[in-house]
Amino acid sequence: MKIASPPPSGPDDWARPPSALVADRLNLPPAGARVTVAGLVILRQRPGTAKGVIFLTLEDETGVVNVVVWRKLYEQYRRAVIAGRLLRVTGRIQRDNGVVHVLAEVIEDISPMLDSLLTPADS
């Protein structure tokens, strides 16, 4: 699995799923584009006023990604949303007042990949 995307060569060149787009490149795809992001879960919020919507904040090596998980999707991916430390999320880009969100469609718990950080890279 490829986490980081290569540098773009033009405004229409961004990592498409299943490749993950890094946080600092979320400004490249147009609103509504389908993207995949991956990162450490640094925040989970479930405000009482949000009618069951869950907000996740993921962090990668380039910044943070705001993820919106609707109630129905939460029920489907509950275990990953609650327990995942490292998630891969595929969804649609939404822009609102200068803030970019990913509206989740698929959520994968890829926390076992964290163990690979402990093994030394081949030189």
Asked whether the predicted pLDDT for residue 85 surpasses 90, the reply is: yes
Cβ-in-10-Å burial (0-12, 13-18, 19+) of 79 comes to exposed
For the stretch 99-114, pLDDT in tens is: 999 999 999 999 999 8
**Domains present along the chain, CATH in parentheses:** 23-113 (2.40.50.140)
pLDDT value at residue 52: 85
Q: What is this structure's pTM?
A: 0.83
DSSP, res 13: -
Closest-CA residue to 60 (of 38, 79, 44): 38
For the stretch 26-71, pLDDT in tens is: 999 999 999 999 999 999 999 888 788 999 999 999 999 999 999 9
Give buried/exposed letters for 86-100 (b at 16+ CB in 10 A, else e). Answer: bbbbbbbbeeeeeeb
- Confidence class of residue 122 from pLDDT cuts 50, 70 and 90? low
